[in-house]
Structure 1
Amino acid sequence: MPASDQGVHLPRYKVIPRTLIFLVHGEEILLIRGAPTKRLWANRYNGLGGHVEHGEDPLSAAKRELREEAGVENVRLHGIGVLMVDVQADTGVCIFVFRGEVREKFSWQSEEGTLEWVSWKDVQKLPLVEDLPQILPRVLAWQQGDPPFWAISRYENEQLMVHFHSEEGDSSLLRS
């Protein structure tokens, strides 16, 4: 279908595609502590990831981000969820969430921040980016063969709300 038939018009809702990647080793998860010089999320913990660039699919973008942010290649990634982030009435962010298992831990530092392996039981004690307390339980509980999660987040009365839906039709509303 040509671009003219794709329904891309200025007043329509548009999204910026991004990836969010979590690597697991046993009972530990790899997070990046944002560099103190970062404009957003300085000294806060997040998964790895970034923008899906023009011409990339989400999985290729996730693998590129792993190379750039962790120096890692050849990790099998599983798409485990999609999070829509409402930013404005006509703009949002679509985050493709991935999880991978690694056999050996590694360390890496970049201008983005420092990678740290964190025990699952200690992760909620860290200064996490705002939506991670809601996302991480789904990431950690995921097992191969599970359906992906579907979620949307937005601010309501100055509080981040994350609404999850499952394939079975149930939903839950969480507050950060």
Structure 2
Amino acid sequence: MHPINLIRPMNLAFLFHDDEVLMIHRGAHKKIWPNKWSGVGGNVEPHEYQDLQGSVLREIYEETGISSGQIEDLTLRYMILRQRDDELRQLYVYFGRTATKEITQTDEGHLKWISRDEWFELDLIPTNRKMLEHYLKYEHESDVYMGINIEETPVWIRM
């Protein structure tokens, strides 16, 4: 294990339209988790450290074309920590709803609305799979959960 030298805040969003969720099939060119399915998101820019929700709204718009005015009930539900080499990654995961299904494809990967019945048939990023399994059990609660990621298996702590 390397000593931690860097902190990297990141964000992720799962947007729902009825019983479908918007996911992205990450491109083969992606350095981390190529060809895997995930929500949309990215890095928190240094000037956004005090506005994490603004950061995830920016990422949603950049990757999907869905604007903040088209999103409802965007709520922080998970904070996940994991170490990768000398970097501590802090992932802030939001869930929200949108009335639109209109999306703009980008070079980040292929966006698709996925029904709940199909979620676990996808080749999901392992942590996302565990988080979505957990979310389905507790989706009607408003609690935020902290996840400590140990070998791609998060341990959940209710905050």
Q: For this structure pair, what is the TM-score category when the shorter chain's length is used for normalisation?
A: 0.7 to 0.9
Contact 1:80 1:142 in 2 (8 A): no
Larger Cα Rg: Structure 1 or Structure 2?
1
| RMSD across aligned positions (CA) | 1.8
Q: 1:12 Cα shift?
A: 6.5
C-alpha separation in 2, matches of 1:119 and 1:62: 23
Structure-1 residue corresponding to 2:111? 115
1:32-51 per-position Cα deviation (integer Å, ceiling 9, x unaligned): 01123223322210110000
From the superposition, tell whether residues 52 and 78 of structure 1 become closer, same or farther in structure 2 (CA, over 3 Å): same
CA distance in 2, matches of 1:41, 1:81: 20
For structure 2, the 5+ residue unaligned runs are none
Percent of aligned positions that are identical: 26
Secondary structure, counterpart of 1:67 in structure 2 = helix
Q: Identify which of structures 1 and 2 has the higher relative contact order when contacts are C-alpha pairs closer than 8 Å and 6+ apart.
A: 2
Distance 1:146 1:59 in 2: 16
Distance 1:70 1:81 in 2: 21
Q: Structure 1 residue 122: deviation in Å?
A: 1.0
Alpha-carbon distance in 2 for matches of 1:21, 1:148: 14
Cα 1:12–1:123 change in 2 (3 A) is closer
Q: Give the number of equivalent residue pairs.
A: 151
Q: Structure 1: which 5+ residue stretches go unaligned?
A: 1-10, 168-176
Richer in helix (by share): 2
- TM-score when normalising by structure 2: 0.86
In structure 1, the partner of 2:16 is 24
Post-superposition offset of 1:54? 1.0
Equivalent-residue separation in structure 1 for 2:128 and 2:102 (angstroms): 22
Match of 1:162 among 137, 154, 158: 154
Equivalent residue for 1:149? 145
Q: Which amino acid aligns with 1:103?
A: A
Stretches of 4+ moved more than 6 A in 1?
none
